[in-house]
Amino acid sequence: MRNKIQACIVDDEKDGRDYIALLMENEFPEINIEFQASSVEEAYIYLIKSSPDILFLDVQLGDGTTFDLLSKLNDVHSQIIFITAYENFAIQAIKNGATDYLLKPIKKMDFIIAVNKALDHIKKMQPSQSTLLKDNRIILSTLQGFKIVDIASIIRCEADSSYTTFYLTNKTKIMVSKTLHEFEPILLEQNFFRIHHKHLINIDHLQEYIKGRGGQVVMSDESVLDVSYRKKNDFLSTIGKTE
């Protein structure tokens, strides 16, 4: 189960990555540095499978810029803190959804302010606790109004850009104009697991696991879903199995 805020550092200089990691360890021990990358390609391979809460991006890398990286990704929900030695990328950073823009050498107080800003944004993006009712039902807002659904009746949730589709046991589906990331904190507490950046499943409706590099799961609605390679071990551990 994911409890900590996750972060990723992308910087082609090891000293730069180490310094950010040290600041995080000292000032924000509640945040986990999940991954570090030194190139566009390395970061891309990670980000197509994972969605960290905070991204620290140096602008200029050995094989391109992080703007090249972001242009290759369809859907980035992370809070992005750009870190660079150059001032002239600020406007481009803002256009790419920058939470903040820090100049090297990084000043400790500026860094703390930037991370706190990101944490505030993350908190605001979390679903309101009133979305989850006391009797384990959830409120799903639709274009027509809202529906109240038993969480136990949700087989799986599927992300599609800024929309999420809920597949239910009565063979209906509900599309909601919120990202899957917004529902994840509530549903992870209800025996759900994020097997892939597109799929959050109710483990109570898991029927079968098929071995593979990441593998696949078969759900009670007979859907067959991919498990990402990076999620595989955590998923098998969660259900108490190993390969």
Cα Rg of the chain, angstroms: 19
Q: Which of 202, 207, 182, 204 is nearest to 53 (CA)?
A: 182
Give me the residue label for tokens 């959804």.
97
DSSP state of 83: E
Can you give the pLDDT at residue 25?
Answer: 94
Can you give the pLDDT at residue 26?
Answer: 94
| Strands across the sheet containing 216-219 | 206-210, 216-219, 224-226
Helix (H) or strand (E) holding 234: helix 229-238
Can you give the pLDDT at residue 77?
Answer: 82
Q: Would you state the structure tokens that stand for residue 199, as one six-digit string?
A: 């799929």
Rounded to whole angstroms, the Cα distance separating 132 from 138 reads 5
DSSP state of 131: G
Rounded to whole angstroms, the Cα distance separating 50 from 33 reads 13
Q: Would you state the structure tokens that stand for residue 92, as one six-digit string?
A: 């481009």
Can you give the pLDDT at residue 155?
Answer: 98
Rounded to whole angstroms, the Cα distance separating 116 from 23 reads 13
Can you give the pLDDT at residue 166?
Answer: 97
Can you give the pLDDT at residue 200?
Answer: 96
Domains within the chain, CATH numbers bracketed: 5-125 (3.40.50.2300), 129-238 (2.40.50.1020)
Can you give the pLDDT at residue 114?
Answer: 96
Question: Which is it for strands 192-196 and 199-202: parallel, antiparallel or unpaired?
Answer: antiparallel
Q: Which of 132, 177, 136 is nearest to 153 (CA)?
A: 136
Beta carbons of 58 and 16 less than 8 angstroms apart: yes
Can you give the pLDDT at residue 2?
Answer: 46
Beta carbons of 216 and 227 less than 8 angstroms apart: yes
pTM attached to this predicted model = 0.56
Burial (0-12, 13-18, 19+ Cβ within 10 Å), 129: exposed
pLDDT tens, the chain, 243 aa long: 345 789 999 999 999 999 999 999 999 998 999 999 999 999 999 998 888 999 999 999 999 999 999 998 867 889 999 999 888 988 888 888 899 999 999 999 999 999 999 998 887 766 554 477 778 899 998 877 889 999 999 999 999 877 899 999 999 999 998 888 888 888 998 999 999 999 999 999 999 999 999 999 999 999 999 999 989 999 999 988 665
Beta carbons of 178 and 164 less than 8 angstroms apart: yes
Can you give the pLDDT at residue 28?
Answer: 94
Does residue 119 sit in helix, strand or coil?
helix
Task: Give the number of other CB atoms < 10 A from CB of residue 29.
Answer: 9
Task: Give the number of other CB atoms < 10 A from CB of residue 5.
Answer: 18
Beta carbons of 135 and 118 less than 8 angstroms apart: no
pLDDT digits 0-9 by tens, 14-68: 999 999 999 999 999 989 999 999 999 999 999 988 889 999 999 999 999 999 9
